[in-house]
Amino acid sequence: MQMHLAAIVEQFWHSVPGGTALATAKTLQYIEKTGLCEITPLAAAHKKEADLAAEFSGKVKHSRLPRALLYETWLRTTMLKAELFIPQLDVTWAAAMVAPPTSKPLVTTVHDVDFLKNQELLSSRGKNFFPRAWEKALERSDVLVCPSQSVADDAVAYGASAEKTVVIPWGVETVAISDSQSLLQRFALPSDYILWVGTQEPRKNLANIVKALETTNHHLVIVGPRGWNIDSKELFASLGDRVHLVGWVDEVTLRAFYAQAKLFLFPSLAEGFGLPILEAMAQGTPVITSNVSAMKEIAGSAALLVNPQKPTSIANAITYCFEDKKLCEVLGEQGKKRAAEFSWTSTAQKYIDVFKKAAAA
């Protein structure tokens, strides 16, 4: 008999879905492939479906309330329980840490606790919302899932029960790209560009990346949407025509960007996992990332680690990669091996195991 999983997927409709939404979508896709769970996604009221929800078209249960009102109702009251929308559910997965009231088992994913550690990097809404969501997640959840040991340690330090906290890493798809050369002509790029991928926001440390690149003549390609508290025009002005703001691209094009890059640069101030690290490694691209939080954990020994607070540390690592061909080859091979240790199949199965255990408790 299939277990019925209610999955909160409101993050699919965010104007900037980001890594948390993408990881949730991949996990649900691979859970569904097992045939072990019947999945019913749950979201607020929306006029049209989100791209990330396409695979579950027609199956998403929508509240009549818009996001802000639904979230506030969940945080302030015990009204609108998850089973009101999906009576047959066995377990609810709060995949983005917004834990609804429910009388059934609740599994909540905590992507990071940066909203407690580095509040100055948040938007004004984030400062108000996330600490309250965290308190409700602690109160209501039967299990807290973290994507890295780094986040799990932080969660426990900020009040989570160690007995209720488990680590399930995200995965990566190792799909080979047959033709990435055409990308250079399509986007008018040099053949030895440096790649950065993500949502442009303060903790991504783009200011120090720019400072590091000011000492070089290398080109920087920025793939991903604009986020918050960042003025891209002002931020990248000093790099002139050496910066290429591409914006959002589809999965196939993104893999081509990774595959064609000279190196992948990802020295964030903090990450709960750092999925782009593995995506670059899966394409055999050398990675430079930070020696803090989850990034050093996920990269292991397969990347150059830098101090994200020091532009000279970032610049020196870039120079090493461009001057030492053998180093790049070694990092590329080590990266492929590291990426092979993570898969969405494994992620999905571990989540299913947690759901089953919670349902049986």
- Per-residue pLDDT, averaged over 137-156, amounts to 98
User: For residue 127, what pLDDT is reported?
Assistant: 81
pLDDT tens, residue by residue, 345-354 = 999 999 999 9
- Per-residue pLDDT, averaged over 86-111, amounts to 97
Mean pLDDT of the chain: 94
Q: Which residue type does 25 have?
A: A
The domain locations on the chain are: 3-171+343-360, 182-339
**Contact call for residues 257 and 183 (beta carbons, < 8 A):** yes
pLDDT tens, residue by residue, 194-236 = 999 999 988 999 999 999 999 999 999 999 988 777 788 899 9
CATH fold match for the domains 3-171+343-360 and 182-339: yes
211/223 Cα distance (integer angstroms): 19
User: For residue 121, what pLDDT is reported?
Assistant: 66
| Exposure on the CB side of residue 252, measured as CA atoms within 13 A | 3
**Contact call for residues 41 and 60 (beta carbons, < 8 A):** yes
Who's near 314: CB < 8 A, 6+ residues apart?
Answer: 208, 209, 211, 212, 265, 267, 288, 306, 308
Is pLDDT of 10 > 90?
yes
- Per-residue pLDDT, averaged over 105-127, amounts to 86
- Per-residue pLDDT, averaged over 269-277, amounts to 96
pTM (2 decimals)?
0.95
Q: Which range (121-125, 214-218, 249-253) has the least confidence?
A: 121-125
Pick the CATH number of 3-171+343-360 from 3.30.360.10, 3.40.50.150, 3.40.50.2000, 3.40.50.10680: 3.40.50.2000
User: For residue 122, what pLDDT is reported?
Assistant: 67
Is pLDDT of 126 > 80?
no
Strand 304-306 with 194-197, pairing: unpaired
Is pLDDT of 49 > 80?
yes
User: For residue 273, what pLDDT is reported?
Assistant: 97
146/178 Cα distance (integer angstroms): 34
The CATH homologous superfamily for domain 182-339 is: Glycogen Phosphorylase B; (3.40.50.2000)
